[in-house]
Amino acid sequence: MPGEEAETDYFAGLQPTLAAAVTTACAVVSHNLNGQRLGRKGRVTRERILAAAIELIEDSEEPVTLGRVARHASLGMTSVYNYFTDMTGLLLAVLAPVMATAEDDYLSLAREPWPDEELYARCYGFVRAYHGFWARHSRLLHLRNALADQQDARMMAHRIRSSRPIIALLVKQMGDEPIGLGPHTSMATMVMIGIERSVTLVTDKELRKLVGIEPELSEDRYLVPGARLMEFAISDARQ
């Protein structure tokens, strides 16, 4: 209906799957920070804030502030403060729908066992998909990591939580050892630390300049070694 289209045009700059994830994430929030129960209008306001934040983060190189998000969403600061008191809270809310799309983008690739004869190809496909996901959300990745590196407790906790599904899937590829403190978990953790850091490097223009990586240099310079390390870790654990 025309009225419904007008109400959701704030999603125009988002991919359909991400827009749907934003709607789902907002639907499970029952109250604002003032304790008021959210009706339809309140959920729409929260959706507008998240959509505006995602667009600013992904499409602009300017610093992202609550004020800029409010202006981009055509809302007053009071409306934003009803839902978020600082940028960490807003970034965490943005990360929720973004990470919800990770299942289709890369996690699903590791749900089934990888045959030994296809191990490198499967590892490379996974690393390539993981890189592609964060290349699309590179600025969000850098903002999250910067806050975590500054010892922001909430962002550190998110960084740990977001890595656990991948580590669990790699441990399952290695064998029957349960996820925990065993050697498979340790190896999977180290592999993913390396791969995440390489993706951070490849997608950070300023960092590439500092370490002398030319713009035209293939991303495979790091993706292939990452896939090889993953292949070695899994094949070694299976022996």
Rounded Cα–Cα distance for residues 47 and 49 (Å): 5
Between the alpha carbon of residue 113 and those of residues 42, 100, 162, the distances in Å are 44, 22, 21
Say which amino acid occupies 123.
C
Has residue 188 got a pLDDT over 80? yes
Rounded Cα–Cα distance for residues 158 and 156 (Å): 5
List of long-range contacts for 9-15, beta carbons under 8 Å, 24+ apart: 10/47, 10/48, 10/51, 10/52, 10/73, 11/47, 11/51, 13/51, 13/54, 13/55, 13/59, 14/51, 14/54, 14/55
**CB neighbours of 14 closer than 8 A, spacing ≥ 6?**
22, 51, 54, 55
- pTM confidence score: 0.89
State the pLDDT at residue 175.
95
Residue listed under structure tokens 């499409």: 59
pLDDT digits (tens, 9 = 90+) for 83-117: 999 999 999 999 999 999 999 999 999 999 999 99
Return the H-helix or E-strand segment holding 210. Answer: helix 205-211
Q: What percent of the chain has pLDDT over 90?
A: 79
Q: What are phi and psi of 26, to 5 degrees?
A: -75, -30
pLDDT digits (tens, 9 = 90+) for 23-35: 999 999 999 999 9
Has residue 8 got a pLDDT over 70? no
Between the alpha carbon of residue 199 and those of residues 56, 58, 214, the distances in Å are 21, 16, 15
